[in-house]
Amino acid sequence: MNFSRRELMKTVGAGALALGAGQNMTAASSGGVMGVPPDFSVVRSEFPRAAKHLWLAAAETHPFSVHTLRALEEYSQYRALGALGRDGFTPAEQAETKQMFGALINASAEEIAFVLSTTDGENLVVSGLDLAGLGGNVVIDDLHFAASRYLYTALAEAGHIDLRVVQHRDWQIDVADMERAIDSNTRLVSMALVSNINGYMHNVRAISDIAHANGAYVYADIIQAAGNTPVDVQAMGIDCCACSTYKWLMGDFGLGFLYVKRDLQGDVIKQTRYGLRQVTQKDGHFVPRPGAAIYEGTTTMPYLPAVCAHQGLKYLARLGVRNIRTHTKRLVDRLQTEMPGLGYPSITPLDTPTPVVSFLTADPDVTRAKLDRAFGQRVVSPGQWQMTDSSGKTQSVRGIRIGVSVYNNDTDIDAFLNALD
């Protein structure tokens, strides 16, 4: 069922009504701030899509909240009609957005650059390190995202690097295998902190200690972690990381964040492109803006996804990532307990601290037919993955990936399990 414009505005209005005295604060979301867990039934009401359709695929894209809808409406009115006291996506909002993202991963705002996407961020790191010029090896693993595997495979095929791909065992990466792959010629260890394949979260601190002892740097793709699982770049020993905003940050395509540790900016991870977002101009001179601004793009930043990210980050800050994790863990635990009995073995380790969980499907067409019959549209992400057995042989397997978020509840899980029963 589609939203009519009238219905949409009613929803935005309802969300706005739930806001306290001009602040973007709701009864639900204020709980995170006060140390009291948020009321997740109210949170669900702030994601109107959740009541309309089951969506267990936040690992793909996350629905907008009513707050985002309202901010988009204001921004669109400003662009279409002017007025309303808005002024694009202001420098103050830009600064606040970086500050909020920094706070989410325990970094400072000056360690954050706006980029286009996760892949854009990783490319900036690779070119800034001059991996192609340095030579040596890069270590990744087979639970990494396809775009990253492509990036390093292309560099390897061009003869610029030696690529070492550590294979998973039992759908997790053994630190001892990483240790065997990393040596003093390793320039970079790159991983998806949380794998898009099965939600597996690396033992990143152990791996970064090994990388650093060998003089290598650590890049983490954090798109499947930021906003759903606590991330602390300092405690985890992550040197640089990136993500888009269209998944757990509740935003849209076209804007991402790159974190580069302060000590590495400029000298180790160099500036490789030039644009006016990186400088201010004074008396005919270009004055560099501080920090990670040197990695920013070559044009004005995209304001529409920035409006969404700003709202998403505010909402996350109010809910609190630990509260989010507590909420989703219970629902994921239900899936982990009940799905194998329905004939869907899990490929996500039980102690994985993320809301992304994947199951193998013996007959993907039958599974899809059952879900289509129950819901009339896609509700989870289908997947085809490479499974490595104990002898190191790989085979293609098919399955479904589920991403549980703040708006999901027990009724969703019941409906999903009943459909597969």
Ligand X SMILES: Cc1ncc(COP(=O)(O)O)c(C=O)c1O
Question: With binding defined as CB under 6 A, does residue 224 bind ligand X?
Answer: yes
- From the CB of 121, what's the least distance to ligand X, in Å? 8
Range 139-167 burial, b when 16+ CB lie within 10 A, else e: bbbbbbbeebbebbeebbeeebbbbbebb
Question: With binding defined as CB under 6 A, does residue 119 bind ligand X?
Answer: yes
Site string for ligand X, 169-198 (x = CB under 6 A): -----------------------x---x--
Question: With binding defined as CB under 6 A, does residue 380 bind ligand X?
Answer: no
Q: Using an 8 Å Cβ cutoff, are 125 and 102 in contact?
A: no
Residue from 26, 94, 229, 244 touching ligand X (CB under 6 A): that is 244
DSSP calls for 272-309 = ----GGGEEEETTEEEEPSGGGGG--SS---HHHHHHH
Owner of token pair 């939203």: 3
Helix/strand/coil for 212: helix
Which of the stretches 99-107, 218-226, 291-299, 392-400 binds ligand X when contact is defined by CB under 6 A? 218-226
Question: With binding defined as CB under 6 A, does residue 221 bind ligand X?
Answer: yes
Question: With binding defined as CB under 6 A, does residue 200 bind ligand X?
Answer: no
Question: With binding defined as CB under 6 A, does residue 117 bind ligand X?
Answer: yes
- From the CB of 117, what's the least distance to ligand X, in Å? 3
Residue from 29, 94, 118, 405 touching ligand X (CB under 6 A): that is 118
Amino acid, single-letter form, for residue 51: A
Q: How many degrees, rounded to 5, is the angle at CA 59 between CA 117 and CA 301? A: 20
Residue from 66, 124, 207, 223 touching ligand X (CB under 6 A): that is 223
- From the CB of 223, what's the least distance to ligand X, in Å? 4
DSSP calls for 118-169 = HHHHHHHHHHHHTHHHH-SEEEEETTS-HHHHHHHHHHHHTTS-EEEEEPPB
Site string for ligand X, 382-401 (x = CB under 6 A): --------------------
For residue 406, the number of C-alpha atoms closer than 13 Å in the C-beta half-sphere is: 35
Mark out the alpha helices in 221-263 (DSSP H runs): 233-236
Nearer to ligand X, 118 or 228 (CB): 118
Q: Which residues are CB-contacts of 325 (< 8 A; sequence separation ≥ 6)?
A: 228, 229, 230, 353, 355
Nearer to ligand X, 244 or 311 (CB): 244
Owner of token pair 């790191």: 125
- From the CB of 381, what's the least distance to ligand X, in Å? 9
Site for ligand X in 121-160 (CB under 6 A): 145, 147
Question: With binding defined as CB under 6 A, does residue 256 bind ligand X?
Answer: yes
Q: Contact residues for ligand X (CB under 6 A)?
A: 117-119, 145, 147, 192, 196, 221, 223-224, 244, 256
